[in-house]
């Protein structure tokens, strides 16, 4: 069992007819916990009913909450989610919210120092308080996993470059990597060449790019590994990338061979996309999908 710390936003994903707890770091944390890891989350919620309900759900699902901070002024995070006819999501991420004001605490410092993996995204850096806290904690982590999550207008190229240079592992989707590679000066059109370009430019050992229904590509130890995806019926894509990342990092930090790791992670991501919400129970279906 590995010690994993996730840092960043927790919130309510509010769909037209229902709502579920979410936020990429929380989605990753919940999936990491479900596959046998000791998981903590560093975040901040409001002193309100929404925050109290999130805290209860996180505890019930077994993720450590001792570094969940309570804000007396800012509300618990919430996001309005709209799904198109293909199940793809668009988001209205409300600002400011409690997770914009995460502070450095002794508890957070201790957790990060002891972690086998510290997982963070770019969205939490949209406000200076949480961004400064992230920068401080990155100095302490042994293995840093950066989940790029571009949500306009909440990112700058300067901050993305800083976080990439800090990371040991970076996850993009295929749109994100081309946008960021271009910002770094790449004129290359090949996906593989852009992955190598970013790896060399930022001195990053491992890079993964998700390609939606076409699977994913992993660059690890200077080699490429591929999975072409699994045929499923998409219900909604919310949280699919987060579960993919959690499953991939779980396998890599447990020294599973890279090809087996990306096969497993792609299967998990597909199963989440074929279910409602970001954190469905898919344990009983993974083996069957991997056999096909």
Phi, psi of 255 (to 5 degrees): 65, 30
Contacts of 194 by beta carbon, 8 Å cutoff, 6+ apart = 177, 178, 181, 186, 188
Return d(Cα 282, Cα 275) in angstroms, integer.
9
Per the structure block, which two tokens stand in for 177? 């990597």
Burial class of residue 111, CB neighbours in 10 A (0-12, 13-18, 19+): buried
State the pLDDT at residue 82: 83
Taken as a whole, the chain contains a residue count of: 292
State the pLDDT at residue 290: 66
Return d(Cα 67, Cα 44) in angstroms, integer.
8
Cα dihedral: 236, 238, 240, 242 (round 10)? 180
State the pLDDT at residue 87: 67
Looking up residue 269, the CATH number of its domain turns out to be 3.40.1190.20
In the chain the first and final C-alpha atoms are separated, in Å, by: 29
Return d(Cα 213, Cα 4) in angstroms, integer.
28
pLDDT by 10-residue block (mean), the chain, 292 residues: 97 89 94 95 98 96 97 97 76 94 98 98 98 98 97 95 98 96 95 97 97 94 95 70 96 97 94 67 63 59
Domain count, the chain: 1
State the pLDDT at residue 285: 65
Return d(Cα 35, Cα 90) in angstroms, integer.
28
State the pLDDT at residue 274: 65
State the pLDDT at residue 213: 86
Number of alpha carbons in the 13 Å side-chain half-sphere of residue 232: 29
**CA 32, chain centre distance (Å):** 11
Tell me which residue range forms the domain holding 248: 3-291
What one-character-per-residue DSSP string does 225-284 give?
EEE-------S--TTHHHHHHHHHHHHHHTT--HHHHHHHHHHHHHHHHTSSSSS---HH
pTM greater than the 0.75 cutoff: yes
Contacts of 177 by beta carbon, 8 Å cutoff, 6+ apart = 191, 194, 195, 198, 209
């Amino acid at each position: 069992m590995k010690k994993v710390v996730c840092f960043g936003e927790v919130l309510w994903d509010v769909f037209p007819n229902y709502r579920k707890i979410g936020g990429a770091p929380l989605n990753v944390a919940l999936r990491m916990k479900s596959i046998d890891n000791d998981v903590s989350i560093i975040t901040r919620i409001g002193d309100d009913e929404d925050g109290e309900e999130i805290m209860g759900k996180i505890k019930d699902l077994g993720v450590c909450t001792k570094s969940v901070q309570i804000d007396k002024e800012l509300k618990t995070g919430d996001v309005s989610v709209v799904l198109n006819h293909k199940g793809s999501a668009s988001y209205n991420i409300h600002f400011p919210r409690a997770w914009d004001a995460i502070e450095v605490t002794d508890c957070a410092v201790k957790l990060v120092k002891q972690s086998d993996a510290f997982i963070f995204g770019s969205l939490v850096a949209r406000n200076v308080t949480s961004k400064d806290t992230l920068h401080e904690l990155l100095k302490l982590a042994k293995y840093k996993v950066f989940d790029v999550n571009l949500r306009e207008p909440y990112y700058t190229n300067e901050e993305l470059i800083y976080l990439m240079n800090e990371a040991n592992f970076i996850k993009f989707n295929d749109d994100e990597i081309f946008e960021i590679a271009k910002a770094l000066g790449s004129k290359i059109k090949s996906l593989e060449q852009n992955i190598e370009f970013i790896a060399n430019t930022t001195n990053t050992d491992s890079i993964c790019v998700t390609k939606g229904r076409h699977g994913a590509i992993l660059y690890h130890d200077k080699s490429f590994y591929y999975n072409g995806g699994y045929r499923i019926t998409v219900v909604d894509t919310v949280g699919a990338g987060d579960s993919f990342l959690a499953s991939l990092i779980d396998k890599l930090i447990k020294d599973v061979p890279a090809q087996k790791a990306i096969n497993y992670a792609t299967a998990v991501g597909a199963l989440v996309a074929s279910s409602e919400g970001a954190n469905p129970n898919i344990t009983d279906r993974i083996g069957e999908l991997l056999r096909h």
